[in-house]
Structure 1
Amino acid sequence: MRDEYDFSASVENPYTKKLKKQITIRLEEGVVDYFKDLAEDVGIPYQSLINLYLQDCVRAQRKLSLEWTSKEHAVNREP
Structure 2
Amino acid sequence: MREEYDFSNAVPNPYVGRVRRRVTINIDGETVDYFKAESARTGVPYQTLINVYLGQCAREQRHLEFA
TM-score (norm 2): 0.71
Identity percentage of aligned residues = 40
Describe the SS at the equivalent of 1:51: helix
1:41-74 CA distances to partner (integer Å, 9 max, x unpaired)? 011000000000000001110001213xxxxxxx
Aligned residues: 52
Runs of 4+ in 1 over 6 A off after TM superposition: none
> Root-mean-square deviation (CA), in Å?
1.6
Distance 1:43 1:60 in 2: 25
Distance 1:38 1:66 in 2: 25
Q: Trace 1:1-79 onto structure 2 (pairs within 5 A).
A: 19-67=19-67
Larger strand share, 1 or 2: 1
TM-score (norm 1): 0.61
